[in-house]
Amino acid sequence: MEVRSENLRRYEIDTGNLLDAVFRSYRLSIERLDPVGLWRVGRGKIADRSREVYFVRSCERGAVSTVCDVLGSHGKCCVFAPTRASSRTLSQQLSCVVIGLEDVIDWQDHAFLLDDDAINGRFGSLETLPKPTKSKPKRSTRAAAIEALRQELNAHIVAAADHAFDTEARTGTPVLLPRPTQAELAARINVSAPTLSRCMEDRSAPELRILWDAADDVYEVMKWRKLAAKNRR
């Protein structure tokens, strides 16, 4: 149940105990890294590899600056923020994957439960996509980036469809897996933000815009599931 933020000021949140309860399935090494609200949680197996896991409690301007200084070189880690909105704010500043806890957490049998499939889906094919090389001509490099972006969006739609069908089966209502930001996509396929923007606007690849729009609609990703899976093979 959503609680108005001003009502929370009457409470003192024990973040360490909260993280211990939420991430109990990970190898915990909980440590507060700064007074503003950056925590090291430990390590967890995410998307078939062991990753450092962090939690950012505050997304105020000063806190975001601190987080960027500490995690700027940690491109393979997984960062959690409390809400979808705060994760989007951080995603604009970090190259690593940022996930809002409200999108991947549930309460079952008197305990927190993380949706591992949804978390893994945010990484998609992060480490398996082909990367453009400097020796290729400019158009060839653009074509490689477009293909990598197409695969990334297809992979996300497959994961989002799985998540939607699963939540519909469990609760009766499909839930959308948040679409990665363009900054996240650029980091995943190892291109600059301007290059990614040019790929999205390239007239030779109109399907990128279609995939991008579909990824932001839960019913569209459910319809696109079979096509996205076919394109991914």
* SS3 (DSSP) at 174: coil
Q: Is the confidence at residue 133, as pLDDT, over 70?
A: no
Question: Between the CA atoms of 205, 211, 213 and 219, what dihedral angle is there, to the nearest 10 degrees?
Answer: 150
**What is the structure's pLDDT at 202?**
86
**What is the structure's pLDDT at 36?**
65
What DSSP line would sit under 6-36, residue for residue?
A: GGGGGS---HHHHHHHHTTTSEEEEEEEETT
Q: Which two tokens mark 52?
A: 């450092």
Q: Is the confidence at residue 22, as pLDDT, over 90?
A: yes
As a whole number of Å, the end-to-end CA separation of the chain is 40
Higher-pLDDT residue of 54 and 64 is 54
Which residue's entry shows tokens 């030779």?
204
Distance in angstroms (rounded) separating the CA atoms of residues 192 and 211: 20
Of the candidates 123, 39, 114, the residue with the CA atom closest to the CA atom of residue 81: 39
Other beta carbons within 10 Å of 216: 12
Residues in contact with 229: Cβ distance below 8 Å, sequence separation at least 6, in sequence order? 154, 158
Of 133-137, 139-143, 162-166, the range with the highest mean pLDDT is 162-166
Which of 15-19, 23-27, 74-78 comes out lowest in average pLDDT? 74-78
Distance in angstroms (rounded) separating the CA atoms of residues 62 and 93: 13
Of the candidates 58, 64, 98, 62, the residue with the CA atom closest to the CA atom of residue 79: 98
Distance in angstroms (rounded) separating the CA atoms of residues 82 and 223: 30
Predicted confidence band of residue 228 (pLDDT cuts 50, 70, 90)? very low
Q: Is the confidence at residue 135, as pLDDT, over 50?
A: no
Predicted confidence band of residue 48 (pLDDT cuts 50, 70, 90)? confident
Cβ pair 197, 189 in contact under 8 A: no
Higher-pLDDT residue of 40 and 126 is 40
* SS3 (DSSP) at 76: coil
